[in-house]
Amino acid sequence: MPIYFLMGDEAYFIDQLTDYIAQNVLSEAEKAFNQTVIYGKDTDIANVINSAKRYPMMAPYQVVIVKEAQNIRNIDDLVYYAQKPLKSTILVVNYKYKTLDKRKRLVKELEKNGVLFESKKLYDNQVPDWITKYLSKRGFQVQPTAALLLSEFLGAELGKIVMELDKLVLVLPKGEKLITSVHIEENIGISKDYNNIELQNALSKKDHLKAFRIVEHFGQNQKDNPFVVTIGMLYSFFNKIIVYYFLADKSKQSVAAALKINPYFVADYQNAAKVFPPKKAVEIISLLREYDLKSKGVGNISATPGDLLKELVYKILN
């Protein structure tokens, strides 16, 4: 295809596709005269089109890569080239963190004469499985709890996750192929004992002592344990408990599919459902909403996030 327009919120996939084209279309000798990289902040659409209209020298193709294309004004004017692209040019446009208006003519021409790829961010519940697959391709395994811990701490930005995973595998002991929570704590700095997953487990078992130890740690380390993240995790957890109650098929695979979780964690939700009956789970969802508002100053004058979390956990457990 003569045009690859790569757009969307997840930069990682855009970079991966671009790197593949840059590394594999031309030989090293051909790249010297036929591979051009242009940066959006330093160019305009006329220059991009002129570069794309050049003919290759002693090679079947030239490759023109436009990075940071979201910074180019009048990107819609690329339509004049997209209507009749040069077949000897492979134009790669990186349009990160934004998408084109699908009603525009440019979109229609790109779909007709090129590849229009939208790179979407993964949902939070998809990240642990992505981590597992990424490591598997590199010959490593990761404990499900460790993958969940990584996703909770690093978020859903795949470039950031890959950077941390690549550093992690480099420091593993020789011959070690299974990544555990201990490895993560030692090398990334995420506590294997004081995190939202462990808080969730403590609540499920009504382990008051463990729950309040974690809450106390969170209160003293708010920067690493934001209140809003804890609220979000707990909301997701108790919402899944409510969904679990109304599932007709409570087999392991069915529950995992319905709750969009790794089958490894199904037992946790089954046990939690025994501890928190539907009425209590609904009450907790209301509490989470109430304390989320309090953390934003609604009905709260001076309580710190740590104090609010202690109150919330007390009410959840009683």
Query: Under CATH, what is the fold of the domain 124-188?
Result: Helicase, Ruva Protein; domain 3 (1.10.8)
Provide the 3-class DSSP secondary structure of residue 236. helix
Please say if the pLDDT value at position 4 is more than 80.
yes
Q: How many CB atoms lie under 10 A from the CB of residue 78? A: 26
Please say if the pLDDT value at position 174 is more than 90.
no
pTM of the model: 0.78
Average pLDDT, integer, range 89-116? 95
Query: Under CATH, what is the fold of the domain 196-317?
Result: Zinc Finger, Delta Prime; domain 3 (1.20.272)
Note whether 61 and 25 are within 8 A (CB). Answer: yes
Domain boundaries, the chain: 3-119, 124-188, 196-317
CA dihedral (167, 173, 179, 181) positive or negative: negative
Please say if the pLDDT value at position 109 is more than 80.
yes
CATH class of 3-119: alpha beta
Q: Which pLDDT band, with edges at 50, 70 and 90, does 242 fall under?
A: very high
Can you give the pLDDT at residue 301?
A: 67
Euclidean distance between CA atoms 120 and 99, whole angstroms:
10
The tens digit of pLDDT for each residue in 250-297 reads 899 999 999 999 888 999 999 999 999 999 999 999 999 999 998 888
